[in-house]
């Protein structure tokens, strides 16, 4: 009987993971201002996400950043703790695209990693952008006690639904003094007791300390 190689689910999974890790050897260097996509995800209140930022950071607007811009495939990355002003431009999956009558912005702190995938909005690599043509995706922790439930503009009468899922946005890197949690010390910095890396969620990072980011950057050395 001929031996057939039929890959198991695990082998397929492992190979995909291996391929992604190989592809993931170069991080995306992004300008301080530009365009991106914005999605949203559920982050429980007081949850300590990938960056190890304090539980109280979840009481203010936070976001996960797509892996290859975040700068790590495991936990702490150079984007951890950085603050960005995100401005909603329009939706583009809806027909027709929705251009809200008012401009809305929100300043978020990056506290989490949006893992690299083969498809989906966090799939941009140095080899190519996501489905919207963008190299960055911010995944907003929403709903959140810190963000009004009507934050995302909608037109239910016309579209028949309110959640557009994905927005085209402009982003700008801002000092974290612009972040709503800035005046609450408990919302700044990292949780303690997680080793030397627990200083990786700086209150207002400018450079990433080597032990947070790993030098030279590589997907296996990131921690
Ligand atoms: C965020 O961007 C909006 C729109 O460009 C601007 O009006 C607002 O001043 C910005 N906020 C900060 C803190 O930079
Ligand atoms: C990401 O996925 C979209 C389809 O969802 C695809 O068009 C795009 O080429 C992918 N990007 C990369 C870098 O693989
Ligand atoms: C996002 O908005 C910018 C600025 O208007 C535009 O250049 C870009 O094509 C838009 N992206 C999508 C996917 O619609
Ligand atoms: C909803 O969309 C329709 C059709 O474009 C428009 O006439 C109406 O003014 C919109 N309403 C709001 C609240 O945006």
Query: How far does residue 31's CA lie from ligand 3's centre (Å)?
Result: 16
Pocket flag, ligand 1, residue 173 (CB < 6 Å): no
CA pair distance 191, 80, nearest whole angstrom: 13
Cα gap 138→43, rounded to integer Å: 14
What is the three-class DSSP state of 14? Answer: helix
Ordered domains of the chain (ranges, CATH): 26-213 (2.40.40.10)
Average pLDDT of the chain to the nearest whole number? 86
Q: What percent of the chain has pLDDT over 70?
A: 79
For ligand 4, atom 5: residue with the closest CA: 158
Instruction: Reply yes or no on whether the pLDDT at 54 is more than 70.
Output: yes
Among 114, 130, 108, smallest CA distance to 59 is for: 108
pLDDT of residue 123: 98
pLDDT at 36 over 60: yes
Going by alpha carbons, the residue nearest to atom 11 of ligand 2 is 130
Residue 86 beta carbon below 6 angstroms from any ligand 1 atom: no
Given pLDDT bands bounded at 50, 70 and 90, which one contains residue 199?
Answer: low
> Helices (H), strands (E): how many in the chain?
4, 6
Phi, then psi, of 141 in degrees rounded to 5: -75, 105
Q: From atom 8 of ligand 1, which residue's Cα is the shortest distance away?
A: 105
The minimum-distance atom of ligand 2 relative to the CA of 123 is: 1
Better pLDDT: 141 or 209:
141
Confidence class for position 75, pLDDT limits 50, 70, 90: confident
Among 63-77, 98-112, 189-203, whose mean pLDDT is lowest?
189-203
Q: DSSP letter at 128?
A: B
DSSP string, 60-127: S-EEEEEHHHHT-SSS--TTTT-EEEEEEEEESSSSSPP--SS--EEEEEEEEEE---SSSTT--BTT
Q: 85 in ligand 1 pocket by Cβ < 6 Å?
A: yes
What is the mean pLDDT of the segment spanning 204-223?
56
Q: Which ligand is nearest to the CA of 159?
A: 4
Tell me the three state secondary structure of residue 195: coil
Flag whether pLDDT at 24 surpasses 60.
no
Q: Is the per-residue pLDDT at 217 higher than 60?
A: no
Burial environment of residue 170 by CB neighbours within 10 A (0 to 12, 13 to 18, 19 or more): middle
Distance from Cα 155 to the centre of ligand 4, integer Å: 6
| Average pLDDT of the residues in 49-71 | 96
Ligand 1 proximity of 107 Cβ (cutoff 6 Å): yes
Tell me how far apart the alpha carbons of residues 87 and 109 are, in angstroms, rounded to a whole number: 14
Determine contact, residues 67/203, Cβ cutoff 8 Å. no
178: its two tokens: 């612009």
CB-based contact 88:98 (threshold 8 Å)? no
For residue 59, give the nearest of 211, 187, 148, 194 by alpha carbon: 187
Q: How far is CA 1 from the centre of its chain?
A: 51
Looking at all shown ligands, the one closest to residue 176's CA atom is: 1
pLDDT grade for 193, boundaries at 50, 70 and 90: confident
Q: List, for residues 148-161, the tens digit of each pLDDT value.
A: 999 999 999 999 99
What is the pLDDT averaged over residues 73-80?
87
Flag whether pLDDT at 114 surpasses 50.
yes
Q: Which band of pLDDT confidence, cut at 50, 70 and 90, is reported for residue 1?
A: very low
Phi and psi angles of residue 187, each rounded to the nearest 5 degrees, phi first: -95, -5
């Amino acid at each position: 009987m001929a031996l057939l190689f039929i890959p198991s689910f695990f082998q397929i999974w492992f190979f995909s993971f291996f391929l992604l890790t190989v592809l993931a050897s170069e991080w995306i260097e992004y300008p301080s201002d530009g365009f991106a996509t914005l999605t949203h995800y559920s982050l429980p209140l007081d949850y300590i996400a990938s960056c190890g930022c304090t539980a109280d950071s979840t009481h203010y607007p936070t976001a996960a950043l797509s892996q290859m811009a975040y700068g790590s495939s495991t936990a702490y990355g150079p984007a951890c703790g950085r603050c960005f002003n995100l401005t909603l431009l329009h939706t583009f999956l809806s027909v027709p695209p929705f251009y809200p009558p008012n401009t809305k912005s929100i300043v978020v702190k990056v506290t989490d990693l949006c893992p690299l995938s083969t498809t989906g909005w966090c799939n941009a690599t140095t080899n190519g952008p996501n489905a919207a043509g963008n190299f960055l995706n911010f995944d907003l922790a929403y709903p959140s006690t810190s963000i009004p439930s009507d934050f995302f503009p909608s037109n239910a009468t016309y579209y028949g639904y309110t959640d557009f899922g994905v927005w085209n946005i402009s982003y700008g890197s801002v000092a974290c003094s612009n972040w709503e949690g800035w005046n609450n010390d408990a919302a700044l910095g990292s949780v303690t007791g997680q080793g030397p890396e627990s200083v990786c969620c700086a209150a207002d990072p400018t450079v990433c300390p080597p032990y947070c980011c790993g030098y030279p950057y590589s997907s296996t050395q990131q921690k």
